[in-house]
Amino acid sequence: MGDRKQARDEEFQSFVIGRWPRLMRTAFLLTGEQHAAEDLVQSTLEQAYVAWRRVGSADDPEAYVRRVMINAHARKHRRKLREFLARGDDSGLVREIADTGDRIAQADDRSALLTALAQLPPRQREAVVLRYWEDLTETQTAEAMGCSVGSVKSNAAKGIAKLRAIPGLADMATQGGRK
C-alpha cells in the first residue's frame, strides 16, 4: 500500500520534471511575464498533485493539466497581466519596424509580439496559444478552454486578426522566425 503511494509520487515527479519546460513556455505566452508564468505552472501542478491519484491513472493527464492551467489563468492572471502591462513596454504596437538579423532587434520583435498577445482578451489569447503554439486541434482546444469548438474558432480568428494588425508582423515572421 505504501509502495503504491511511492509509485504514484514517483510518477508525479517524473511528470513534473518532464512537462515543466513546455508548461513554462505555454504559461509565458499566456501571462507575458516570467514570474507570472512560474506562478501559473506551479499552482497548476499543485492542483494536479491534489488530484493525482485520479489524474495520473487517466488516459491523458496532460489534457487535465492543460485544462487546470487555462482555468487558473482565466481566474487569476487577468488582473496581474493588466498590472504588468500598465507598467510595461510603452513602445507597444506602434514601434518602428526593427532592423533584422540583429539580436536586439529580434528581442524587440518578440517583445512586440508578447505585448500584442498580452493585449488580446484572455479567451482570444488562450485560443491563439493553444491552437498555434500548443498545436492542439480545435476539439482539444475547446476541451481545454471548456467551451464549444465554434467559440474556439471565433476566438482564434479574432486573436489572429489582431496580431496581424501589428505593423511589420510579416517581416518579423520571415526574418525573426524560429531559432
Interacting residue ranges for other proteins, rule: CB under 8 A: 1-2, 4-5, 13, 16-17, 20-21, 24-29, 34, 37-38, 42-43, 45-50, 54, 106-107, 109-110, 113-114, 117, 128-129, 131-140, 160, 163-164, 169-170, 172-174, 176-179
Q: Least separation, in Å, of the C-beta of 95 and other proteins?
A: 15
Phi and psi, residue 146, nearest 5°: 65, 40
Distances (CA, A) of 150 to 89, 127, 138, 156, 166: 34, 11, 9, 10, 25
The backbone region for 168, taken as left when phi is positive above 0, alpha when psi lies in -120 to 50, beta otherwise, is left
- Considering the complex, state which of residue 84 and residue 132 has its C-beta at the smaller distance from other proteins: 132
Nearer to other proteins, 140 or 155 (CB): 140
* CB closer to other proteins, 59 vs 135: 135
* The CA-based dihedral angle spanning residues 45, 48, 53, 57, taken in that order and rounded to the nearest 10 degrees: -90
Distance of closest approach, residue 13 Cβ to other proteins, in angstroms: 6
